[in-house]
Structure formats: structure tokens, C-alpha cells
Structure 1
């Protein structure tokens, strides 16, 4: 059975799995489903429709699943989906989606989300990301797996951030960030490959060298974006992982709608 503090309010239409713990003065609304082993801290508010997976740690004063901050919203039954094993720290705010997009705001698995992070409507956050204190995602932002967003960084609506990319402290992100890159500043600029992050994730020296070639073609050779894409596509094959990195980069560039930071 779930362990619910006597001062918490849980709507009868909420579904709490075995092993869920709900702290003092928390409010769990109708249409909320919480998976086994998840803990909800004191004074949290979770509104539905919201689905939360298992073994998440939600710290005190978080507000999850509230109506989107979108003036077009008219009360449609949009959703928030949160996966498994996420850490969500104090005062985080995650909004539900809107019918102008998929209707769902989604957060994947194993993410580390620090205090005061805002994830707006229709965002899609991948797996194993880190969002430092006060990072802010406007509506429709997409973050790939293993992304790191520094504290006090703001990301503009509809921006995409590729897998393994890093945005440094206080960055103003208004264009798409290609996979594997490190960016920082206002105006935003690319500072190189996210080498340290890739090493920590077990990328080999040869694989990192191959990614450095991709970085040089995009940012150091004076090529147009189309010329860079052609040369990236023509890089020597290498092993399956290197070919996969090329495919990841080309797919991201093909899907970029706001243009990449250059």
C-alpha cells in the first residue's frame, strides 16, 4: 500500500501504486497516476492528467502537471508524462502539454533536475539529462539524451538540443544546439566538442577524434552548412559507433527548424 501522510490530500480518482510515499501537506489531484516506489515530498502539488513512473524522488514544494502557461489553452485534457528514477528537486514546475502540439509534456528516465527548473508545455526531455538550478525550458523544447543544461540558462521556444550537448552557465539559447557540442554565452557560441562529458560516458579516444572531425567541418573550415553536411556524410566509415555518430548529427541537422548555433 501507499504511505500517505495524514495531512496530505489525495483525490479518490488518483492512483498510487504500492510503495508510493506522500509527504505532509502534499496535494495529489484527480487523474494522477504514480508508480511503485516513488516519493512525493512535503507541500508538493501534482495535478492531472499526469503519469509518473516508478522510483522517482520528488522533493518538497514541486508543482507538477499544472495547466500550461499558454494563453491559447482552453482547459483541454492535456498530459504530463514522467518516466522512472528521476530526481526532481525543490520548487520545480512542469506544465502539461497543449493541443497545438502533441498534447503531452514528457520527461524520460534517470534525469537529474535541480531546484527551480521550469519545463514548459509540450517539452520533450530525454534520458539521463542534467538540468542545473534555475534552468528554464520554454514551450516545445526538445532535449536529447545525456544533455547538460547549466544553471540560469534559458532556452527559447521550439529549440532542439542534440544528444550529449552541453550548455554552460547562464547561456541564452535561441538556436538549435547540435549533438556533442559545448555552447555558452550571450550571444551564444560554440566552444568546442563536449570532450569531458563524452569521456565520462565511455567514448573511446578514436570515437572522440572522429567527432572532432565533425566539429571542424561544422565550425572551423568556413563551409556553408550544406557543404559541411556533405563532407560529414563523406567521412571515412570507421566502426559502427562512429557511423552512428555521423547519422545522429546528419539527422539532427536535417530536423533543425530554428537553425543551429554557428
Structure 2
């Protein structure tokens, strides 16, 4: 299961069936759950906890020091859940003391080749980051969001659940749930209806979500007025409640 050329710190804890490929390096205070496969030439540094049944491909760098000039060696960590696929040359960094001292990745995510998850990011479940998509520090990506290839997300932004960014998007404001963005400069372009259909949303729910999108982006209402419309709509369509909640708590304002 563990190639003889792999170097594993004595304090690292690996489940009995974990696979480690040639020339990989696993440092101190790394915990890896059952069924996880680590390819060749992978570097994992702790403190880091990796769950069950993950697949980490060659040349990935997991749990490295954050790229933050305020970081001076404080003990911070990386937490990765179960059943994630982390492809070639992906980089995931630990958190900083200026936030929660942790970077967190949930379950069932796909991080394609050359993607980057910076310090203090929180990635939910079922997220897809296509090739070379990159998150700056403190970004939150909610469940089932999709970031197209070469998408770039500014620090402290939040990407709402089931949203979609087209290839090459430069995201400097929060993206509400269900919204599709793209172009240069990046702008909203409707809702992610195909993604919603694939995730089992009913035609009526999708129709109401599209109506909520129009209230935000097409009605000419001020954001506060559009928010009130969403709150009223959510009484009949619970799927819209997360849009209203998102707008109420946005930190950088929404892309509009």
C-alpha cells in the first residue's frame, strides 16, 4: 500500500488501507482516513486531517503554509472531508490566525488540475472547480457551485449554492445562489437552470427561482426592495429563502 520511496513522518496517522505512491512526502501531524489513495510525488503537510475515500493525484501540494505576509508560523490547520478528488498540481493551503485558523473542504468535491484553494477558504460539498480555477484567501464556496476553468475569485467573496461561473470569470463580488455569471467584465447571465434540473429541482421551483432572479436583476428595484420581494416569494417557494438569506448577509455586496 505504501511505496518504499515514500517518506512518512512517524507522527503521521494513516488508516491501514491508505495507498501512498512513489516519492510522496507526508509530514508531521497528518491524519488520513480509510480508503484514501495518494498518488506519486504528492506533498502533504500538517496539521492536516483528510477523511475517507479521497483520491489525491500526482504533484498535488496539500496543507502547505499560507501565502499571507501576516503568517509567521502560527499553528493552523487544513480539514478535508470524504470522497474528494484532487487532481494534478492542485494546491491547498492551511488557514491563518487572522481568521478561524483553518481551511476547510467538505465532501464529494472535484478539484481539477492546477486549481488553488488559498488560506482560510471554506468549500462546501459537491463543488466542482475546473482546471486552474483559483480561490483567494477567505473565500466561501457553497454546496454544488461550479467554477469554470481559469475562474478567479477575490478575497472574502462568497459563491452561493448551485451557482455557475463561466470560463475565465473574474469574480470580485458575491454571487447569489443559482446565478450564472460570465463574460468580461463578469456579469450575471440568468440562472443555472441546467444544473438545477440535474439536481432534481422541480420545473415550478426553477420557474420561481427565475422570477426571483428577475426581481434582483431585471425589475429596476433597489436591492432592498428586491430583497423584500424574495422574502415574500419564499413563503410559497422555500428554495428562494437561501437567496434572501444570502443577500442579507453578503459582505462584499452581490455582483449586480
Which residues of 2 match residues 1-262 of structure 1 at below 5 A?
3-235=1-233, 237-238=235-236, 242-243=237-238, 245-262=239-256
Secondary structure of 1:234's match? helix
Judged with a 3 Å threshold, the aligned counterparts in structure 2 of structure 1 residues 17 and 120 are, in CA distance, closer, same or farther, namely same
**RMSD across aligned C-alpha pairs, in angstroms?**
0.8
How far did 1:236 drift?
Answer: 6.6
Per-residue CA deviation, residues 6-60 of structure 1 (Å, 9 max, x unaligned), is 0000000000012100000000000000000000000000000000000000000
Extract unaligned runs of 5+ from structure 2. Answer: none
Judged with a 3 Å threshold, the aligned counterparts in structure 2 of structure 1 residues 229 and 75 are, in CA distance, closer, same or farther, namely same
Aligned pair count reads 256
TM-score (norm 2): 0.99
Per-residue CA deviation, residues 91-133 of structure 1 (Å, 9 max, x unaligned), is 0000000000000000000001100000000000000010000
Extract unaligned runs of 5+ from structure 1. Answer: none
How far did 1:186 drift?
Answer: 2.4
Inter-partner Cα distance in structure 2 for 1:142 and 1:232? 23
Secondary structure of 1:65's match? strand
The ranges of structure 1 where at least 4 consecutive aligned residues each deviate by more than 4 angstroms after the TM superposition are: none
Per-residue CA deviation, residues 175-201 of structure 1 (Å, 9 max, x unaligned), is 000000000122110000100000000
TM-score (norm 1): 0.96
